Chains A and B, each alone.
Chain A
Amino acid sequence: MTADFVALLAPWCIATLRGATPLIFATLGETLTQRVGIINLGVEGEMLTGACVGFAVGVATGNPWLGLMAGALAGGALSLLHAGLVLGAGANQIGSGLAVWMIALGGTSFFGRALVGNQVTPLPNLGSSLTDGIPFVGTVMAQATMAVPLAVLAVIFVAWWLAQTRPGLRWKAVGESARIAAENGIHATRVRVTAIVVGGLLAGFGGAVLSVDYTQTWAQEMTKGRGLVAVGLVIVARWKPALVLPVCLLFGLAEVSVLRVQSAGYEFSPHLLGTFPYLVVLVVLVLSHIFARKASAMPADLKAVFA
């Protein structure tokens, strides 16, 4: 009985983890950006760019790690546009994020055409002769790649960094009030640019994980709103890096259920099933507003742009 249950549980767990991994990176990045008081809807575009460039470099070099690095750099580079518009020109943050998204949407569908149908070398699986045959662990390891533990480690590191280090404290201070932070000798603008770029690097990395490691293909608009989901999940996670992990797993679980229902051969519209992950995020977002204490966790400077 227990063995059966474990045998059933393991594939779900690993599929959920793998599905959530790209989103974890993007949501973690957006959490950091929002903690310094900046909202970046451009994460959708940065993920998409990361997925496109990461896949291209992965295909060209045959090395998935180079692809992931290139994807991260591309996302980071694109986030500089948001930083420039918002901090340099004082543009509206929502508008700027959407402009970044539009440029990425057009740019990737143009440059991505040549990538359609290409094969990429995925990251190697973690399973080895040591873990094979162990119940649960064996199954999980056989299907997991380095991206999964890396995402978990990134969450733990950022949670620790933000809570326990002086630079982390400075970032939080900037998010609460850039003015007061500046009066106390913190370069608020420098912190904000850094946070936007770190958010872009993580979003780009997440996008590259999506195309190089998870789907192992490139398709136009393949992120399908994952970056926007990330922005919503930051709110659900109450701007706490540690909570990024569980909320992203929820999205991953929703996606996996869809795939499982489809492969189980039920007569059900794949398009209708496809709405399920978005509906889950919307419901969770609404529930978090009903049950969480009102906006208590929101960085104060963020309220000005994103009430």
Chain B
Amino acid sequence: MSLVTRFPVFAVTVTALCFLFLAAAFFAALGKPPLAMLYSLVVYAVGDAYSVSQTFAKTTPILLCALAIAVPGRLGLISVGAEGQLHAGAIFGTGIVLVAPGLPSVVLIPLMLIAAAAGGGLYGWIPGILRARLDVNETIVTLLMNYVSVLVVSALVFGPWRDPASQGWPATMKFPEGAVLPAVPDTRIHLGLLIGILLAAGLHVFFNHGKWAQKIRILAGNRKVGEMFGLSYAFWVVALMSAGGAIAGIAGIAEVSAIQGRLQPTISLGYGLTGFLVAWLARHQPLVILPVSLFVGALVAGSDALQLFAKVPAASAVIMQGLLFATALAVPGLLARWRAYRDR
């Protein structure tokens, strides 16, 4: 079973328990009853049909962004660029809709998705080519590029793309019916989720069973050995960085089309960074990313509702993600230390 190689049950359990403890401590520090808060968090995340719909709505961009990070991650590249690529995809996809809003949806939706993938892909190609040709660190380039495309979205919706009918509100016109991704009726579960699940399955096959699976693994493990096998490191850096960008680009247009209904500055609640966290927790394994993004999506949706109903600060979701990340980073290493100490 290459599905989950040596699933570290013990480490995951300890991580989960530590995170629950820290989350409870966080609520206690806010002066809220910790156990009641954790219980409400679960209720608000999965308690009824509406909550579940919200959880899936949050899961979708997180899932796509996590896949966007995992794809170059399989080559050992550390891209943190999903946030910027998401915005680039949103810009390109929206561009198509603004140019040809009247097209029938069977034409417009595929065009819009392709444009978004191209935009995100281009935004991933830049750090890719810089890494491949000049050995410029992709982590720094992607982190800095994030700020650029977010600002470009603002420039567009405050400027040439602003809908005159929106009374000064910085947003494009509302997307026409033909540009809205199909969704499960009366929910916020839309085509983006299906795309994400299919991509995860496809990437699992590609990276584990496909023609290139073993070659990429060799290249990731040792560049020189990989090149002896006739593989081009530069080619795969550019290809995987662009592919990752394209996936994040789809996350962007899906959020604009299905959730917001128009391009505006607040299309992402830091999904890029959250996606990075999820990809990291899942060790860049596409099929593990599915449940982890659902879990983190539930955490984000739950804290969102908690903020509305229990007067918990809006920043809670980010703080809890940070705590989860720190716990997940700390626990495996500390367990290894403890084992080494015990076996001495």
Contact = CB atoms under 8 A, between A and B. Distances in A.
Contact of B322 (A94, A106, A289, A307): A106
B314 interface: yes
Contacts of A102: 273, 277, 318-319, 321-322, 325
A286 B130 contact: yes
The listed residue with most A CB atoms (<10 A of its CB), out of B143, B154, B159, B332, is B143
Interface string A215-230: 0000000001100110
B136 interface: yes
Interface string A99-121: 11111111101100100000000
A278 B144 contact: yes
Interface in B243-290: 270, 273, 276-277, 280
Given A102-B325, A290-B134, A89 B152 contact: no
Interface stretch (A11-19, A189-197, A268-276): A268-276
B152 A275 contact: yes
A164 to B, nearest CB: 30
Interface in B300-336: 313-323, 325-326, 329-334, 336
A224 B143 CA distance: 11
B315 A110 contact: yes
Contact of A110 (B139, B273, B313): B313
The listed residue with most A CB atoms (<10 A of its CB), out of B139, B273, B317, is B139
A231 interface: yes
A277 B332 CA distance: 39
Interface string B117-159: 0000000000000100011110111011111100110110011
B45 to A, nearest CB: 18
The listed residue with most A CB atoms (<10 A of its CB), out of B148, B158, B329, B334, is B329
Interface of B is mostly: helix
Contacts of A306: 137, 139
Interface of A is mostly: helix
B78 interface: yes
A281 interface: yes
Given A105-B322, A286-B130, A232 B144 contact: yes
Contacts of B137: 235, 306-307
Contacts of B315: 105-107, 109-110
A138 interface: no
A90 interface: yes
A269 B157 CA distance: 11
Contacts of A100: 322, 326
Nearest 8 A/B pairs, CB to CB: A89-B333, A106-B319, A106-B318, A102-B322, A103-B322, A271-B155, A91-B329, A99-B325
13 contacts: A89-B330, A89-B333, A89-B337, A90-B337, A98-B325, A99-B325, A106-B316, A106-B321, A110-B313, A110-B319, A224-B147, A228-B140, A269-B158
Given A88-B334, A100-B322, A272-B155, 14 more contacts: A41-B143, A89-B334, A89-B337, A101-B322, A103-B322, A107-B319, A110-B316, A113-B313, A225-B147, A228-B144, A271-B159, A282-B141, A289-B134, A290-B134
